[in-house]
Amino acid sequence: MYFWDVVFTENRVRTGILGLDELIEGGLPRGFCYTVMGGPGSGKTLFGVQFLYSGATLYGENGIYVTLEEPPYSIANNVRRFGWDLYKLEAARKLVFVDASPIRGLGRAAPLYTLRAPIGSNEFSIDDIIGLIGEAKRSIDAKRCVIDSLTALTVQYDSPFEVRYNVLRLVKALTETGLTTLLLSELSEERIDAQRFGFEAFIAQGVIVLHMIRIGDSISRALEVRKMRGVKHLQRLCPMRITDKGIEVFPEEKVFGL
């Protein structure tokens, strides 16, 4: 057993990340936004896909993947190694992509929900994203959502005020829809060590940090639940591995070298 007995309740969302739900009393409180932070290669996109794939295939909860950087076909192709067929979920109306990525017209037919003006263009509008998410939710009765990533919005706006204002509008809209949402965010290990989190860590109901820790010539992966409002959670680094099943967390182990 883990350090406390887990009781799953109706108002909790099971993440599908093996070992994680045991850290947060059975899952994420339903209907809120959660920030998942980490550096390049830490597994943020994989975390988001696993959350949606598990929801659709294991827990009867359809999902929306909003991509602001990598095009949908790239995400779908990269997770095939885990046996996850996102095209099949799309065809079954269990998953939809909202595509706001700047790369268009490659790899496959355009998703049903494609932003008229992608991120990086002068015509880009957060209202268009909010509108498409609402349409997508209604079309498949979605319960889960992933935004990949908030970091992309920082290059869209000229001032920190505009970034904060538009992200707050997005979070407010997502919360009002009742979606349980993961907000992926880029953060270097140096900033994590210095605890220099951005405002996205403070507006979310919870913060999960994916660490890549260099110890000599080796890299250790770890997951930390930095914040989870209203939830008892383990407050230390837990080893994390990327296996052929996706991300797995090991609460009873210690991070190698620490």
Q: What is the CATH number of the domain that holds 126?
A: 3.40.50.300
Residue at 70: amino acid letter:
E
Higher pLDDT, 193 or 231: 231
Residue 52: C-alpha distances to residues 48, 66, 107, 185 (Å)? 6, 11, 22, 17
What is the pLDDT, as a whole number, of residue 189?
59
Q: What is the pLDDT of residue 110?
A: 56
Query: So what's the pLDDT on residue 188?
Result: 66
Region 9-38: mean pLDDT is 93
Q: How far is CA 203 from CA 73, 84, 197, 240, in A?
A: 31, 31, 11, 26
* 146, part of any domain: yes
**pLDDT value at position 98?**
95
- For residue range 63-105, what is the model confidence (pLDDT) as tens digits? 999 999 999 999 999 999 999 999 999 999 999 999 999 887 6
Q: What pLDDT does residue 105 have?
A: 60
Number of helices (H), then strands (E), belonging to the chain: the values are: 7, 12
- On whether residue 21 sits in a domain, the answer given is no
* Bridge partner list, 98: 66, 113
Whether residue 84 is contained in a domain is answered as yes
The count of other CB atoms within 10 Å of the CB of residue 243 is 9
pLDDT of residue 48: 98
- 154 occurs within a structural domain: yes
> What's the domain range around 81?
29-218
174 domain-assigned = yes
96 assigned to some structural domain: yes
- 74 falls within a domain: yes
Domain count of the fold of the chain: 1
Specify whether the CB–CB gap between 72 and 111 falls below 8 A.
yes
Query: What pLDDT score was predicted for residue 218?
Result: 82
What is residue 68's three-state secondary structure?
coil
3-class DSSP assignment, residue 191: helix
Is it the case that residue 193 has pLDDT exceeding 60? no
Q: Assess contact for 24 and 2: CB atoms under 8 A.
A: no
pLDDT at 254: 81
In sequence order, which ranges of the chain are alpha helices (DSSP H)? 44-58, 72-78, 86-91, 126-140, 160-177, 189-193, 200-203
- Mean pLDDT for 24-35 is 96
Q: What is the pTM of this model?
A: 0.91
**3-class state of residue 1 by DSSP:** coil
Q: What is the pLDDT of residue 7?
A: 47
Gap between the Cα atoms of 67 and 65, Å rounded: 6
CB–CB of 36/185 below 8 Å? yes
Query: CA-CA distance, 84 to 56, in Å (whole number)?
Result: 11
In a domain, 22, yes or no: no
Predicted confidence band at 177 (pLDDT cuts at 50, 70, 90)?
A: very high
**What is residue 10's predicted lDDT score, i.e. its pLDDT?**
61
pLDDT at 194: 40
Residue 4: pLDDT over 70: no
